[in-house]
Amino acid sequence: ISMEKTVNIAVVPGVGYSHLVPILQFSKLLVHLHPYIHVTCLIPTLGSPQSSSKTFLQTLPSNIKYTFLQPIHPQDLLPQGTTLEAQHQLTITHSLPFIHQALKSLTLRTPLVALVVDCFAVEALDFAKEFNILSYMYYPAAATSLSLSFYLPKLDEETSCEYRDLPEPIKIPGCIPFHGRDIYAPAQDRSIQAYKLILQLVKRFRIGDGVIVNSFLEIEKGPIEALAEEGSDNPPVYPVGPIIQTVTSSGDDANGLECLTWLDKQQPCSVLYVSFGSGGTLSQEQIVELAFGLESSNHKFLWVVRAPSSSSSSAAYFSTSAQNDVDLSQFLPPGFMERTKEQGMVIPSWAPQIQILSHKSIGGFLSHCGWNSILESVMHGVPLITWPLFAEQRMNAVLLSEGLKVGIRPRVNENGIVERLEVAELIKCLMEGEEGGKMCNRMKKLKENAINALKENGSSTKTLSQLALKWRNLMQEI
Ligand code: UDP
């Protein structure tokens, strides 16, 4: 047996739990398939580390090590960063000296081959040259939104109005045409700071040696091939997905267990799962419409409900307080719980999504179209009602409903509300209609493709091996 050399790489996540988990899920797959690779994760921190992050870090295998970088204090960011998103971005900027320091001490100990950074930490890519290592961006979302990011500087130059006012759909290479109002949220208002930030950020997407994306060829053939096209001037793109969690952490609490027991008692494919991700929030008015829609559809449902917010569709995403003590009667229609006690189950705030989606009783998923939720739905063959709220979710919804035709998208009225009749109709269409059956079949096919992509000879596994091999060969030369 030849002694295999260890190949060391460093990864830098974005700030917060939801930017930590994806790049570490990727790292886990990487070291599982290629055990000679060792990962050191350098974690930029705002304030003190979240307890959810610490819990997750305890599940890592021994060849993934991590350090929390010196924390940035919120009060140091306040004058400039008003929104939490901006604070997260500034935390990266302020952490750069610590990332530099950490990389330096790592390289002194052992040769480093590559640096992989989350798409919100691309500023750190600059250090790769200095340490003479390869550098990559990890993109935890769709190749479609990645394509928009590569295309944005050009679009910005060519367009004088707001994108939502463009009369024609936007044609991003390889993607289905998008109406301006459907492209990702930070590009919806070109006058604000968030847009300028995104524009700066996406220009840096090109500076590394490649982009690793949590997608797979068969779900986004158009954009993935277009990104790789010769003469497109893009760095190499490596689709390695779908990478999803296998169980939902904290899925073993009382609420979680109760809903799984309830699902056990339902007919196969009879229940609609309703969830808006880890942070999606509806207005009071919208909650009421959704409730009446669910009720009058006469279909079974499992609804993860969160307290309403009038100001932001991602309110809960940035809230630090747990919502387990919400009083549902405060915002669900009077009598709703009583009338639907046979028809449905309502759980506050958080559900074991993976266990739910893999349950045989689930027949559909009404989702906010977060990319992780989509990949999880695909991996379990569950067709969708695509109800986007924020970030790049509208693009994902278009991909699913117009592109892949594995989901249907609600119509919103002039006040931005999906009315109860529309909700009920869509549920019936998905759960009992002919079109619903077709969507279901297409989703089953997509599931097969997803599973195949991850098999030993699958497209994503091969792509990942290609990367690992490149790094190993480089190590042999050192
Ligand atoms: N999730 C969950 N239970 C919930 C809500 C969300 O387990 O009640 C998990 C879900 O399985 C997914 C992630 O949280 O892995 C949500 O990620 P996604 O990209 O779909 O949306 P985001 O929360 O980032 O908006």
Instruction: Please answer whether residues 20 and 44 qualify as being in contact, where contact means their C-beta atoms are separated by less than 8 angstroms.
Output: no
By annotation, the residues acting in catalysis are 19, 118
Q: Confirm or reject: Cβ of 372 under 6 Å from ligand 1.
A: yes
Q: Whose CA is nearest to atom 15 of ligand 1?
A: 372
Quick: pLDDT tens for 388-413.
999 999 999 999 999 999 999 999 99
Instruction: Please answer whether residues 237 and 146 qualify as being in contact, where contact means their C-beta atoms are separated by less than 8 angstroms.
Output: yes
Instruction: Please answer whether residues 368 and 323 qualify as being in contact, where contact means their C-beta atoms are separated by less than 8 angstroms.
Output: no
What letter does residue 164 receive in the DSSP assignment?
G
From 290, 295, 259, select the one nearest 389 (Cα to Cα): 290
pLDDT band at 1 (very low <50, low <70, confident <90, very high): very low
Q: Confirm or reject: Cβ of 388 under 6 Å from ligand 1.
A: no
CA distance 365 to 430: 9
From 25, 69, 365, select the one nearest 212 (Cα to Cα): 25
Residue 295 CA to ligand 1 center (angstroms) comes to 24
CA distance 399 to 112: 38
Q: Confirm or reject: Cβ of 63 under 6 Å from ligand 1.
A: no
Q: Confirm or reject: Cβ of 304 under 6 Å from ligand 1.
A: yes
Q: Confirm or reject: Cβ of 278 under 6 Å from ligand 1.
A: yes
| Residue 358 tokens, joined | 């893999």
Residue 348 CA to ligand 1 center (angstroms) comes to 14
Can you give 456-471 as a three-state secondary structure string? CCCHHHHHHHHHHHHH
Quick: pLDDT tens for 145-200.
999 999 999 999 999 999 999 999 999 999 999 999 999 998 999 998 889 989 99
Mutate to test the pocket of ligand 1, among 247, 357, 368, 372 (most ligand atoms within 8 A of CB): 372
Q: Confirm or reject: Cβ of 453 under 6 Å from ligand 1.
A: no
Mutate to test the pocket of ligand 1, among 373, 377, 394, 396 (most ligand atoms within 8 A of CB): 373
Mean pLDDT of 58-81: 88
Q: Confirm or reject: Cβ of 309 under 6 Å from ligand 1.
A: no
| Residues listed for the chain | 478
Q: Confirm or reject: Cβ of 91 under 6 Å from ligand 1.
A: no
Which atom of ligand 1 is nearest the CA belonging to 245? 15
| Residue 128 tokens, joined | 């790769």
Instruction: Please answer whether residues 163 and 188 qualify as being in contact, where contact means their C-beta atoms are separated by less than 8 angstroms.
Output: yes
pLDDT band at 317 (very low <50, low <70, confident <90, very high): low
Q: Confirm or reject: Cβ of 223 under 6 Å from ligand 1.
A: no
Quick: pLDDT tens for 319-376.
544 455 678 889 999 999 999 999 999 998 889 999 999 999 999 999 999 999 999 9
Strand order of the β-sheet with 134-139 is 64-68, 37-43, 7-12, 112-118, 134-139, 210-213, 237-239
pLDDT exceeds 50 at position 38: yes
Cβ neighbours, 10 Å, residue 396:
28
Mean pLDDT of 85-104: 93
Instruction: Please answer whether residues 313 and 390 qualify as being in contact, where contact means their C-beta atoms are separated by less than 8 angstroms.
Output: yes
Sign of the dihedral through C-alpha 33, 241, 236, 137: negative
pLDDT exceeds 60 at position 318: no
Residue 177 CA to ligand 1 center (angstroms) comes to 27
pLDDT exceeds 80 at position 49: yes
Mean pLDDT of 307-327: 67
Residue 4 CA to ligand 1 center (angstroms) comes to 38
pLDDT band at 316 (very low <50, low <70, confident <90, very high): low
Pairing assessment for the beta strands 64-68 and 112-118 based on DSSP bridges: unpaired
Residue 203 CA to ligand 1 center (angstroms) comes to 28
> Which residue in this structure is represented by tokens 């931005």?
416
CA distance 258 to 184: 36
The pLDDT, as a whole number, for residue 320 is 44
CA distance 281 to 316: 6
On the CB side of 56, CA atoms within 13 Å amount to 21
**Can you tell me the ipTM of this complex?**
0.99
Q: Reduce the DSSP state of residue 425 to 3 states and report it.
A: helix
> Which residue in this structure is represented by tokens 């689930």?
362
Quick: pLDDT tens for 109-157.
989 999 999 999 999 999 999 999 999 999 999 999 999 999 999 999 9
Quick: pLDDT tens for 260-300.
999 999 999 999 999 999 889 999 999 999 999 999 999 99
Instruction: Please answer whether residues 24 and 212 qualify as being in contact, where contact means their C-beta atoms are separated by less than 8 angstroms.
Output: no
Which atom of ligand 1 is nearest the CA belonging to 357? 11
Quick: pLDDT tens for 428-456.
999 999 999 999 999 999 999 999 999 99
Q: In whole numbers, what is the pLDDT of the chain averaged over residues?
A: 93
Residue 408 CA to ligand 1 center (angstroms) comes to 20
Q: Whose CA is nearest to atom 17 of ligand 1?
A: 372
Q: Confirm or reject: Cβ of 383 under 6 Å from ligand 1.
A: no
Pairing assessment for the beta strands 237-239 and 210-213 based on DSSP bridges: parallel
Work out the angle between the directed axes of helices 84-109 and 193-204 (0-180°, nearest 10): 30
Which atom of ligand 1 is nearest the CA belonging to 391? 25
Residue 12 belongs to what H/E stretch?
Answer: strand 7-12
